Chains A and B, each alone.
Chain A
Amino acid sequence: MVPSAPDLSFRSGRNRNERIIGAILFLCAALSTLVTVGIVGVLLTQSFAFFRQVSVVEFLTSTQWTPLFQDKNFGILPLAAGSFLIAGGAAIIALPTGLLAAVYLSEYAAHRTRRILKPLLEILAGIPTVVYGYFALTFITPILRSIWPETDVFNAASGAIVVGVMIIPTVASLSEDALSAVPDTLRQGAYGLGATKLEVSTRVVIPGALSGILASFILAISRAIGETMAVTIAAGNLPNLTLNPMESIQTMTAYIVQASLGDTPQGSLAHQTLYAVGLTLFLITLSMNVVSQWILGRFREEYE
């Protein structure tokens, strides 16, 4: 604090300006809260209109999603299954790969190697998702179809593979942060007992960073569920309650894109589906992000 000085008139002018600036800055920070209020408000009010005509029970249990057909069904399950099929496939690829890459970067790589590899992973994270979609459709899908000829042109596997590649940097970089936060004294203690680097990594460092690693896994899966363009392009637009990755499916995000591209009249039930699906997507990703942060919060306490 500035101690009070004799020149009071001069100070009061300064103080008034200071208060105005402080208020403007506060408004900018508070605006971010308004964004959340806007998202939740829009999704809730519009979904409310939807759920006045379609029961929540039908929405959650019906196994068909055909809002644009003559015979209308409003079951979110096929779309949710599509999203989880993509996220599950992506997780199988990205979680082990990302974690092992994090172990390499944190425990093995020399300083110079890290300085080359980390920016490359950042580039991978910065590639626009529409580019991943192109890559899936024109490169991965033909390979899949030459190995398994019965694969659909648009298939979940192709989408899952590119989304997996896309979230490797998320897992690798957040897990590496967690691994690096494990104190060196623990490693040195283990080496002093004659442990090899493998034993130190898997029995000391990874368990010590487990909560941070888990948080990175959840965050990456949440991103895979929210991913839109790559799955819209590669995985298709056919709501399909299936576990077969070679079939065409539709994710929640892809449906939202499809619904907004078409000419559904504003205020119609078909248009309101967009908000019901958006609300479902928002709640799923939000709860995963909150869980991830909660785990990370616990983790911070461990070494501080």
Chain B
Amino acid sequence: MPGAEGPVGPRTDGGLGGGQRPRDRRRHILGDVFAVVCGAATLVGVVALAILLFDVVRDGVGQVDLAFLTSFASRFPERAGVKAALAGSVWILGLTALIAFPISVSAAIYLEEYAAQNWITRLIQLNIANLAGVPSIVYGILGLTVFVRALGLERSIISGALTLSLLILPVIIIAAQEAIRAVPDSIRQASYGLGATRWQTVSRQVLPMAMPGILTGTILALSRAVGETAPLIMVGAVGFIAFTPSGLGDQFTVLPLQIFNWISRPQDEFHVLAAAGILVLLALLLSMNAAAILLRNHYQKNRN
């Protein structure tokens, strides 16, 4: 088709072979300036990220060693460590995953594979979209009132994990729905054609294909839970604990809370500890994201 390779980008020569009018030259210079401004705007975020990481590493890297990882919090900065906080974060991570993953994926399966197109489905869907936008501190108020007080779970790990599970529920549901929606319909039709029931189709065909996307979304949501501070302050996680939790009813602290506790103190020594704690937290988040990428690659390889 003639003209198919027509201009899709700016033609600096105007297609007339030189001899531009001054007005056109001005337009093109303005265009170049705009391109640079847009590129610079994109770099603002990247540069901010670089400065932030540089700032934290510079302040904290000297403090991170084995003793820091294996010591409890202390009044004396030189003896303080993140043992209780790291253990608490790992507990919260595991419990939140155990609670939130099955419920969210089931909800996503229902909405994508089972739900009829009626007002109940639309209501649930609208509700999930709105829940995703509720500030995390509001979930903290809910957790404090329902789990800590009404259900009498006190200021325990399970209160914290339940609160964070509610917080990331909509995030995982939305990611899982997208992953399930991406499975081609021909797979489902072939499965039904062979006489499979709906659940057999979902559990043996749709879910395995959607799993890489679901897992990636879940791990990203869990990273958010691990980085959360405000809701856990509400449900009463404390900043100063000298034991590792051994059961669901134990008091606990987590890395972000320990960091907040250290930042809140005026002495510089504690700010150094906060920076070191941030490095441990970022390392934990980074390894979770690496795990997400590895899992996704693993599943994708098996599928082919």
Q: Which residues of A contact B (CB under 8 A)?
A: 2, 5, 14, 17-18, 21-22, 24-26, 28-33, 35-36, 38-39, 42-43, 46, 96-101, 103-105, 107-109, 117, 120-121, 123-124, 126-135, 137-139, 165, 168-169, 172, 187-188, 191-192, 194, 196-199, 201-202, 219, 222-223, 225-229, 232-233, 253, 256-257, 260-261, 266, 274-275, 278, 281-282, 285-286, 289-290, 293
Whether A29 contacts B259 by the Cβ 8 Å rule is no
- The CA-CA distance from A135 to B50 in the complex, in Å, is 12
Q: List 30 A-B contacts (CB under 8 A).
A: A18-B197, A21-B199, A29-B107, A33-B124, A39-B139, A97-B44, A124-B46, A127-B227, A128-B226, A130-B227, A130-B229, A130-B263, A131-B227, A134-B275, A135-B56, A165-B48, A191-B9, A192-B6, A198-B27, A198-B34, A226-B138, A228-B135, A229-B230, A229-B256, A253-B137, A281-B137, A282-B138, A285-B134, A289-B130, A289-B133
- The CA-CA distance from A226 to B139 in the complex, in Å, is 11
Q: Does B247 contact A (CB under 8 A)?
A: no
Which B residues touch A285, using CB under 8 A? 133-135
Which B residues touch A24, using CB under 8 A? 106
**Nearest B residue to A26 by beta-carbon distance?**
B110
Q: Does B37 contact A (CB under 8 A)?
A: yes
**Nearest B residue to A45 by beta-carbon distance?**
B145
Min distance, Cβ A213 to any Cβ of chain B, angstroms = 14
Whether A127 contacts B142 by the Cβ 8 Å rule is no
Extra 20 A-B pairs, beta carbons < 8 Å, given A32-B128, A108-B39: A21-B199, A32-B127, A32-B173, A35-B131, A39-B139, A39-B141, A101-B38, A105-B42, A127-B282, A130-B227, A134-B271, A138-B55, A172-B42, A191-B8, A219-B133, A222-B133, A223-B133, A226-B138, A257-B233, A281-B135
Whether A18 contacts B198 by the Cβ 8 Å rule is yes
What are the 8 tightest A-B residue pairs by CB atom distance, in nearest-first order? A226-B135, A128-B227, A100-B41, A28-B106, A104-B38, A25-B110, A289-B133, A228-B230
Considering only CB atoms and an 8 Å cut-off, how many residues of chain B contact the other chain?
A: 94
Chain A interface helix/strand/loop/mixed: helix
**Which of A2, A126, A165, A227 touches B220 (beta carbons < 8 Å)?**
A126
Which A residues touch B110, using CB under 8 A? 22, 25-26, 28-29
Which B residues touch A133, using CB under 8 A? 260, 263
**Nearest B residue to A197 by beta-carbon distance?**
B10
**Which of B11, B145, B229, B256 touches A46 (beta carbons < 8 Å)?**
B145
Whether B169 contacts A32 by the Cβ 8 Å rule is yes
- The CA-CA distance from A144 to B265 in the complex, in Å, is 21
Contact status of A256 and B234, CB under 8 A, knowing A36-B130, A233-B263? yes
**Nearest B residue to A196 by beta-carbon distance?**
B31
Question: Which residues of B in the span 18-33 have a Cβ within 8 Å of any Cβ on A?
Answer: 27-28, 30-31
Min distance, Cβ B138 to any Cβ of chain A, angstroms = 5
Which B residues touch A226, using CB under 8 A? 134-138
Question: Which residues of B in the span 88-118 have a Cβ within 8 Å of any Cβ on A?
Answer: 102-104, 106-107, 109-111, 114-115
**Nearest B residue to A100 by beta-carbon distance?**
B41
Which A residues touch B39, using CB under 8 A? 104, 108
**Of B46, B49, B133, which is in contact with the most chain A CB atoms at under 10 Å from its CB?**
B133
**Nearest A residue to B38 by beta-carbon distance?**
A104
- The CA-CA distance from A256 to B144 in the complex, in Å, is 12
- The CA-CA distance from A99 to B268 in the complex, in Å, is 38
**Which of A101, A261, A278, A286 touches B137 (beta carbons < 8 Å)?**
A278
Whether B106 contacts A131 by the Cβ 8 Å rule is no
Q: Does B156 contact A (CB under 8 A)?
A: no
**Nearest B residue to A225 by beta-carbon distance?**
B135
Whether B230 contacts A172 by the Cβ 8 Å rule is no
- The CA-CA distance from A46 to B111 in the complex, in Å, is 33
Which B residues touch A222, using CB under 8 A? 133
Which B residues touch A124, using CB under 8 A? 45-46, 48-49
Whether B145 contacts A42 by the Cβ 8 Å rule is yes
Question: Which residues of B in the span 120-157 have a Cβ within 8 Å of any Cβ on A?
Answer: 123-124, 127-131, 133-142, 144-146, 149
Which B residues touch A172, using CB under 8 A? 42, 45
- The CA-CA distance from A256 to B275 in the complex, in Å, is 25
- The CA-CA distance from A269 to B98 in the complex, in Å, is 38
Q: Does B51 contact A (CB under 8 A)?
A: yes
- The CA-CA distance from A253 to B289 in the complex, in Å, is 29
Which B residues touch A105, using CB under 8 A? 42
Whether A130 contacts B38 by the Cβ 8 Å rule is no
**Of A32, A227, A260, which is in contact with the most chain B CB atoms at under 10 Å from its CB?**
A32
**Which of B9, B127, B139, B229 touches A229 (beta carbons < 8 Å)?**
B229
Whether B141 contacts A42 by the Cβ 8 Å rule is yes
Which B residues touch A39, using CB under 8 A? 134, 138-139, 141-142
- The CA-CA distance from A132 to B289 in the complex, in Å, is 19
Whether B135 contacts A32 by the Cβ 8 Å rule is no
**Which of B40, B140, B197, B236 touches A2 (beta carbons < 8 Å)?**
B197
Which A residues touch B134, using CB under 8 A? 39, 226, 282, 285-286
Q: Does B170 contact A (CB under 8 A)?
A: yes
Whether A101 contacts B31 by the Cβ 8 Å rule is no
Whether B103 contacts A31 by the Cβ 8 Å rule is yes
Contact status of A100 and B37, CB under 8 A, knowing A14-B197, A32-B124, A131-B52? yes
